[in-house]
Each structure stands twice: as structure tokens, then as C-alpha cells.
Structure 1
């Protein structure tokens, strides 16, 4: 598959087998494994660092860019449905949907901030810093990735190993956050606490 003119930084598969690639060439490209050519190109103003398909409706996806913007794209319309600039001009380094319904989004920044949004309209729902309480990592380190886990899918043994008490292991979701300080952090998405 050829199409990008610079490094590819992120990939995302849809539930129906389509692929998105995000690149330093300031584009996101849509692919299908049975077609060698790019199906569609979505242009940005700066390097695109992260991309994720909506888990429920793979006609939409989100992208994060070094232009400090989070964009929700409509694939059939080939256009941006909603966009927002991150607080304090922070560069977006990672994005993800945080529920299987595709109604919540998180964007991670270069300075360790996680900003939560409603997918419909991209209204801010909250923020939290993924950082240490002291030392050289107290300022926050670049967020490099997200993964969410339905807590109902956890065995009691796994919940105990992750340090989740009974209240946190009720049905809901945990968000695993990776960062450049060599740490993984598990957040409860309902309380937005470690």
C-alpha cells in the first residue's frame, strides 16, 4: 500500500475491516485490504499523531494533530463533523474512544493532560493529569496511548492485582494510559481517578 509521503505514526482498524493510517505528511488515509490504492485522504494542517475509528459507527473517526486540534470526521461526507482546540494550546499526541458505544472520547497531550469529550459536539467533560506527584515527572510526560477495559470483563484476581477495590470493579470502564515516563496508569472512567 503506497500513498503517504512521510512516516506513518498511527493505525486503526474498523469493525468492518477498513484501515486508517495517520502520518507526518499531514494526512489520514482510508484503506481496505483488498484494494491496493487509498480510498480517501483526509487533510490536516499539521502532523497527525493519532487516529481511532468510532467503535459503534465506523463511518466516523477521530484524529489528533500537532496543530492542537481534535477532529471528528464523517467518512461518507469526507469532511470534519466537529473539531475543537485543546486547552492551553496543547499538542494532541493520542486519541481514543473510551466506550464501546462511541459516545465518549479522550485526547492525550504532549504535557501529560488527558481531556475527556462527548463525541457529539466535542464538549469538554473533564480533565486529568497523568503525572507523578513529585520528582522529574511531576510536570507530566507525553501521553503515548490509551486502551479501555470493561471492568466487568475482569476476574476478581485481576482486579485485585491492578489495585481496584470493589467499588471500582463494578461494571464500568477502566482506562489504561501510557506515557513517556515509562509508566502505565489505570484510571476509573466513572470517577476519573487512579
Structure 2
């Protein structure tokens, strides 16, 4: 029995993720014998490689094995179910997502990507009938809503004040992000050419590392899935790889053009994508610093922002001329195939893209959140063939700055789902995407300059917002 190239590629990806999980737990194995730990990983890699090319490959066996092994490790080492355990298990979570998709929730069909899996480990829904939204569980799930707190979106996104204010950057904030599944670590990039990693706990909050190396403004950055590394792009025409524990620069790659955006490949953090002023998307290998042969893609204008879908099989890119692009990403080779191009607003730069597979636990609604320099925050529905349909447009002041927006990370059984965006009128806006008449849920005021970027931590207890004066406010949500 032979496997198709697509199946073989996905098997290889999962094998890499299993080894990554083993490596994360390796520090717990036979602390007095480091040589044993090295041999364990070598043997593990060999077994996975042999199994990958075996004619008896069984995805169900591997999936059951991962669940059993995770449970044993939890019991053996007493990892709690909150911040530290979530950070340590981030790679395992990614592996589970890919495993779910292997059982039929995601596939390539004639170059297009199709997904029916829930985001953030949510429920898998049965295929929706034609014309239906695929409600899960149903709109009448009152008991489930009470489990989520039985509060309205307005009550859920009330804030009780400012947790901390950072003002150490001398230039405008260009991006800020909490670490994956991390409540306390926040990274900030700036036009002053630096990145900083801040610790919000213990109180008082402090700057843990200042990442020095870029000679011009930092335009974007991204955390690796395990938060061990950060990649950053800059106007100095380079992309840099940083160690987040030491703050040291591990690698610098020159692209010969200003680099405006970068993202790790979510299913394989040994790859990353970046976009340049020369209308090019490039795919690089983190370990070697070299680009993949024949990889990358072209756009009409300078690539201003980029985003992967949850499985890393689709890349969304926006350019300075107002176009959105969809590329199918081949994980094994790093090659990208352009499938769709959508004009949002001719001549108005796309400054931010975020994709999400599910809007809430009650409805499958694959969506794309887009900021465009046309004074608008746009929400698109992603069709099965990757075409886009405008679902909502929210009015915000946006014509000059590179404003960014996010989906609120938690999915609940409450009706509605929220997005958050900065604005040039010095405010942070919350919108309910399912409300037509009065979509604004909340508005935070406290900045003295245009709000550029926003980021929630994984449990939505803290929201960070950064502005064009270099100030970052961390807001404390009402518990």
C-alpha cells in the first residue's frame, strides 16, 4: 500500500511535532544521565522515520499514543492545568490539532484548502448542510452558556483599569504580542530599531530583555509556538532570529529590500515566511537561514502583512495597493501556490490580517479580519474554495498608520464574537461581529496618540495596546 504525497507530507510533519514534544519533556528524563536522554531522542526519531515509510502506518494508533503519553506525563510530573503547563504543552497542542486534521478535517482539493475543524481545540462539527451555519451545540444551549459564565459580551469585556504602562521605547510601537499560551510575557517592537520582552509578573512589571541588532525600525515580529524564539523584520532589509531566554541574536538574514512582515509556519516552526518591499513573499529555513528552492510568491504591491491559517496550509497576504492574496502552502517543500486574489480597496494599503477557523463555539464561520487604510475594519467570510465575501465593515479612523486588529482569543457559548482594533482617534474599539445595529461593545480611552497594535493574553485577563508615541498600556479586564 502506498501513500499519496499529501499524506506522506503530513505524516512527516506529525513526526517532527512528536519529536518536538519529546524534546520539551526531555529535561524530566533521568536527570542524572544526560547521555540517556540523547539516545532516547535518537531512537525515537529512528522509530518514527521507520513508521513513516511502513505500509502499516495507522494514524489512529499514533493519535491514541499521544493522548495516553500526555496523560501519563501529567500524572507523573504534576504539571498544573494553567500557565506553566499550557506553555510546556503548546507543541503537544499543535500536534493534536494536526492529528485531528489528518483524520479528515482538512484537505487539499485541486489546490484549495478546506477545513471543518474548530479553532483553539474547540468541538468538531458535523458537515453543515447547504445553507446552514452548522451550529454547535445549538442556539438553545443554555446550560453550556451558564458554564461560560452566562454573561453578555458587554459584561465580559468590561475593564477595571490599567494594570501597567510601559514607555521605554523612543519610537512608535509597530507590533506587540503576548507569548503563546502565556499570561505574563509581552513582546513589543518599535520604529526605534529595538524589540523588548516584558514580564508582567511578579509585580511591578519590568523589561526582561532588550533585543538589539536592527539598525532601522522593526516592522513586525512573531513568537515561535514554544516561545523559545522570536523572528523580526525590519526596514534595514534583514530578518533576525532571537533567543527569548538570553535575548541574543542567533541569525541575521539579508533580503536586499525592506521587510514589512514575518510569520512562523505554525505546523513547522523551522520555517518562516516574510514579505518585502519588492512585492515578494519568501520562505526560509530557520536552521540554515536559506530560502527553499522555488518557494515564495509574488504580489502586485509591496507585501505589508501576512498570516497563516491555523494548520499552516494557507497563507494570506496583503499589499500596499489594497489587494488580498491566498496561497496554498506546501509544508514539506515550502512552496506556495497562489489560488485567489481579492481587491479590497484600490490604492489603500492592507495593514493587518488575522484568520480564524471558528468565530465561536456555536458556529463554524471561517473568517478573515482585515485593516485597510480606508477608515474601515473589515470582516470577510472564507468560502470552501478560499474566496472571500465581505460580512461586516466597522468604521474606525484609519488612513495613515499601520493599524492592527485581533480576534478575541476565547471562544465561548455566548451568542456573538468579538474583535478588537486600534484606531487613529486614540481609542481601542471592541466590536461584536454578529451585531448589525450597534456592534460596538466597548471603547477604551487613555492613549495620547494613534493606537497602532493590540494583543490579548491567552485567557483574556490582560489586554495590551501600543501607540505611535511609544506608549504601551496593559489593561486589566474585569474578572
TM-score (norm 2): 0.34
Aligned to 2:351: 144
Provide the rounded CA distance (Å) in 1 between the counterparts of 2:267 and 2:365: 17
Which of 18, 43, 65 is matched with 2:276 structurally? 65
Q: Does 1:91 align with 2:91?
A: no
SS at match of 2:305: strand
Q: Deviation at 1:172?
A: 5.0
Q: Is the 8 A contact 1:129 1:140 kept in 2?
A: no
Query: Which structure has the greater CA radius of gyration?
Result: 2
Matched residues in 2 for 1:64 and 1:73: separation? 11
Q: Out of 76, 94, 109, which is 2:319 matched to?
A: 109
Distance across 2 between alignment mates of 1:180 and 1:63: 21
CA distance in 2, matches of 1:172, 1:102: 18
Q: How far apart are residue 56 of structure 1 and its match?
A: 1.5
Matched, 1:122 2:122: no
The structural deviation recorded for 1:118 is: 1.0
CA contact 1:51–1:63 (8 Å) conserved in 2: yes
Kindly report which structure 2 residues correspond to 1:1-194, keeping only aligned pairs within 5 A, or say none.
Answer: 1-17=211-227, 18-81=229-292, 82-86=295-299, 88=300, 90-97=301-308, 99-120=309-330, 121-131=335-345, 139-151=346-358, 153-154=359-360, 169=363, 171=364, 173-190=366-383, 191-194=387-390
Q: 1:100-135, CA deviations, whole angstroms, 9 ceiling, x for partnerless residues?
A: 11011011010110011011221111011112xxxx
Alpha-carbon distance, 1:193 to partner: 1.1
| Aligned counterparts of 1:173 and 1:79: Cα–Cα separation in 2 | 33
- Higher RCO (C-alpha 8 Å, min separation 6): 2
Residue 68 of structure 1, CA deviation? 0.8
- Contact 1:16-1:58 within 8 A present in 2 as well: no
Contact 2:310 2:357 in 1 (8 A): no
Q: Could you tell me how far apart the structure 1 residues matched to 2:356 and 2:297 are?
A: 26
State the distance in 1 between where 2:370 and 2:226 align: 26
Alpha-carbon distance, 1:155 to partner? 5.4
Q: Does the 8 Å CA contact 1:130/1:140 hold for their aligned counterparts?
A: no
Report what 1:160 is aligned to: none
| 1:42 Cα deviation after fit | 1.7
> When the two structures are superposed, what TM-score results if normalisation uses the length of structure 1?
0.82
1:147: how far off? 0.9
Q: RMSD of aligned C-alpha atoms?
A: 1.5
Q: How many residues align?
A: 170
Structure whose residues are more often strand by fraction: 1
CA distance in 1, matches of 2:278, 2:317: 13
Higher helix proportion (structure 1 or 2): 2
State the secondary structure of the residue aligned to 2:375: coil
Q: Deviations over 1:132-164 (max 9, x none)?
A: xxxxxxx2410001111222x4155xxxxxxxx
The 1-side partners of 2:221 and 2:288 are apart by 21
In structure 1, the gaps of 5 or more residues are: 132-138, 157-168
Q: What is the CA–CA distance in structure 2 between the aligned matches of 1:80 and 1:179, rounded to whole Å?
A: 30
Q: Deviations over 1:6-35 (max 9, x none)?
A: 110111111111111110000111112112
Q: Which moved more, 1:75-84 or 1:9-18?
A: 75-84
Runs of 4+ residues over 2 Å off in structure 1: none
